[in-house]
Chain A
């Protein structure tokens, strides 16, 4: 069974700062990795996804993530955050062999003005 962990429950930064949200996974086979964002009171919205090729994937609103097989990681980054980026970010993993998509516990990002 695939698992995913997000080590930081909360991250606080100032507007204009860069940020990295960490995600680590465990699974022995081929997987899909993705990131979703959840604003308060709403459902999750897709940011980006990786399954093969260039390990750095670009998403919406200036987000990118880098896959590392050696570290079993898929960290999310943004060079300069805006207050509207404040939300909960979920890393997700699913195996090629099934359609069960597992989410991490989420990281609450707070961007201060």
Chain B
């Protein structure tokens, strides 16, 4: 079936550095999402993105976070600078329409030291 690819699967960085998480969504999908998962539970909504713009974001989407999808490239989540509490697994998802089912990637485990 349709797949969402996330690169890399694991990223280790020092606190204060910048990190970019990459997501290759399902082709022809129009809506993109980032979720944060801690300790294998609690899928926390971060942001959704449509037509080149952030549509909604949560309180967890701090000023240090940004998302973009330049034409034909990855949907990215950038954190600059990183903090210890940013350590988590970040999941990218995409959907074909508003409130349609989400297709998730396998996640990127971010470890901030």
Contact = CB atoms under 8 A, between A and B. Distances in A.
Describe B's contact surface by its main secondary structure. Answer: strand
Contacts of B35: 103
B41 A101 contact: no
Interface stretch (A17-25, A36-44, A69-77, A78-86): A36-44
Given A98-B56, A99-B55, A100-B56, A46 B102 contact: yes
- Range for the number of chain A residues in contact with chain B: 20 to 34
Contacts of A90: 43
Contact of A32 (B41, B93, B99): B99
Contact of A105 (B42, B45, B99): B42
Contacts of A42: 106-107
B31 A43 contact: no
Q: Sorted from nearest, which 3 A-B pairs have the closest CB atoms?
A: A43-B104, A103-B43, A46-B101
